[in-house]
């Protein structure tokens, strides 16, 4: 391939990886936003004295959005690793365009998921949400 074609392919690949990383980061932020909004709405609805016995339902969206958030953060970490590796390979000039376009996330997904589960950005928010629900429950009851 000519140098201009390789440069265009490389720039497109870098741009694609950056877009994927940005989208996954945005999905993670949306999970946090929806979790807080939904928990607040459920607190308003379920902390009525007649419905207080159903307060445990509020923990379902907390857990679900926590898992989704960790999934997206784990994928984002995997794509950041691919992106960094690709840039290092370009800098060292030992890159094969066709081979670099193929990547697999099978090995890294589960490990990154568990790392994201116990990261500060996820654990702090979702544990704080659960704590607020417990405090509200005992204050109202």
Does the pLDDT at position 104 exceed 70?
no
Helix 59-91 crosses helix 106-117 at what angle (to 10 degrees)? 130
Confidence grade of residue 6 (pLDDT, cut at 50, 70, 90): confident
User: How buried is residue 49: exposed, middle or buried, by Cβ count under 10 Å (0-12/13-18/19+)?
Assistant: exposed
Q: What is the pLDDT of residue 2?
A: 62
Over the stretch 33-63, which tens digit does the pLDDT of each residue have?
Answer: 999 999 999 988 887 777 778 888 999 999 9
Per-chain mean pLDDT for the chain? 86
C-alpha triplet 36, 118, 75: angle, nearest 5°: 80
Percent of the chain with pLDDT over 70: 89
User: What is the tally of structural domains in the chain?
Assistant: 1
Residue count (the chain): 141
Helices and strands (H and E) in the chain: how many = 5, 0
Q: Which two three-digit tokens encode residue 138?
A: 């005992």
Query: Residue 116 has what pLDDT?
Result: 92
Q: Domain range holding 84? A: 3-140
pLDDT reported for residue 82: 87
**Residue in 128, 127, 119 with CA at minimum distance from that of residue 76:** 119
- Confidence class of residue 76 from pLDDT cuts 50, 70 and 90? very high
């Amino acid at each position: 391939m000519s140098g201009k074609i390789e440069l265009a392919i490389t720039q497109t690949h870098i741009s694609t990886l950056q877009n994927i990383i940005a989208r996954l980061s945005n999905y993670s932020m949306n999970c946090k936003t929806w979790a807080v909004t939904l928990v607040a709405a459920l607190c308003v609805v379920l902390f009525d004295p007649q419905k207080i016995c159903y307060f445990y339902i509020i923990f379902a969206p907390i857990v679900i959005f926590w898992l989704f958030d960790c999934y997206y953060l784990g994928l984002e970490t995997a794509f950041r690793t691919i992106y960094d590796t690709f840039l290092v390979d370009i800098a060292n000039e030992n890159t094969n365009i066709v081979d670099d376009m193929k990547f697999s996330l099978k090995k890294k997904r589960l490990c990154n998921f568990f790392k994201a589960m116990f990261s500060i950005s996820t654990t702090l928010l979702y544990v704080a949400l659960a704590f607020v629900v417990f405090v509200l429950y005992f204050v109202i009851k």
